[in-house]
Each structure stands twice: as C-alpha cells, then as structure tokens.
Homo-oligomer: A and B are copies of this chain.
Amino acid sequence: MEKRSKIPEPTVARLPIYFRCLIELKENGVAVASSEDMAARAGVKASQFRKDLSYFGEFGIQGLGYPVSHLLDRISSIMQLNKEHEVIIAGAGNLGSALLNYPGFQKWGFKITRVLDNNPQKIGKKLGDITIEDIQDIPKNLNSSIGIIAVPASAAQQVAQTLIQSGVKAILNFSGKKISPSKDIVVRNVDMTHELAILTYYLSVENK
C-alpha cells in the first residue's frame, strides 16, 4: 500500500457512491454489471466510472462487465470499509445524538465508542448504551482514529485539539468553524447551513 497517491479527490468522493450501488446490486442478486449499468445507477458517465476504477487497477471483464461481488470487495478494501472503525463523537447535543443513532454508520462498519461533552449536566448521563464522558478526562492514547465534531462553532478549535491529542487522525467537522490544519490530520467539513444557502442560490437562478 504505497503508490496510490495522486488519485483525484472527485474520484475518491465517488467511491462511496459506487460502493452503495454495488451493495444494492448484490442484495438484488445481480452478479455482473456493466459500466453503463453502474454509471446509470450512480448518476455519472460510464467513461467516468471506468476511469475512476482505472486509478486502482483492472476489475472488469471485457465484453462482460464487472463481477459485482468482487468489485464490492475491492472497493471495500480500497476505502477500508472491510474493517470496523471506532469513532468518537464530541458533543452530546441534538446533532451528536442523531449521529450516534444514525443507522448508516453501523451498516458501514463505523462504531461509535465514546461520546464526549463538557456540560456537567450531561456528563455521566447515558445516551443509548454509551455514558457521556467529560471531554477533559479523555486519555491520551485511544485507538479511535476518527473523531466527529458536533459542538458549537466557538468550541470547535479547542475540541479538535483535544481529539488530536487523544490520537484521532481524521475529523468530520459539523461545527461550521474551520479548523486550522494540523500535520497528518485529515479533516472534512460538513456545513448544513452552507448547503441550504447553495440551494437558495440555485433557486434564484432557476427562476431567472
């Protein structure tokens, strides 16, 4: 595992889409799918699907198509979805709770192991099976490499630092506040307010 550096990021972002399509096909008992089939399901061009895969190897059979099960295994392995990942959620508010119970996570192998907060009212309370812990008391070397920031914008940077200190290597940030980049830490930002704003922009151009 060393040479697959320069994969375009749009390609990486499409892999989960393909993964989802393949699961569906497998559940439907489809054994083989052509790039046209896959592309139609995924909402992309067939040539794009083939090009995307080509960065990782050759998975198809010319004249036939792609063996669903095999391709699923391969993409699974490329994205590391063949193993379980422990995830820490920082922020036991509405969003944190929603994420804890988000059905998709478990299905894809993401297991929430801890929920943190700094509110004394919440610390010690249970959220499902999990007891909310004081974010201050978090040990240094956890083996969760993924952290989710579901705290208010004002606390985001501080929380990020804490997570990183406890060994988190990848952060999914819902706070809306940009986190100043740290070496070797991968961050993705999801900003739901931005998404709504993008919608209203397009609404206004549609009704030109």
A194-208 with Cβ < 8 A to chain B: 194-206, 208
- Give how many copies assemble into the complex: 2
What separation, in Å, do the CA atoms of A103 and B177 have in the docked complex? 13
Tally A residues with Cβ within 8 Å of B: 65
Verify B203–A17 contact, CB threshold 8 A. no
The complex places the Cα of A1 from the Cα of B1 at a distance, in Å, of 52
In the assembled complex, how far is the CB of residue A130 from the closest CB belonging to chain B, in whole angstroms? Answer: 14
A79 at the interface (CB under 8 A from B): yes
Q: Can you offer 13 A-B residue contacts whose CB atoms are under 8 A?
A: A1-B204, A2-B208, A12-B202, A16-B197, A20-B176, A93-B101, A95-B102, A104-B176, A105-B192, A145-B203, A146-B200, A172-B196, A190-B190
**Residues of chain A at the chain B interface (Cβ within 8 Å):** 1-5, 7, 12-13, 15-17, 19-20, 43, 78-81, 85, 87, 93-95, 97-105, 107-108, 110, 145-146, 152, 169-172, 176, 178, 184, 186, 188, 190-206, 208
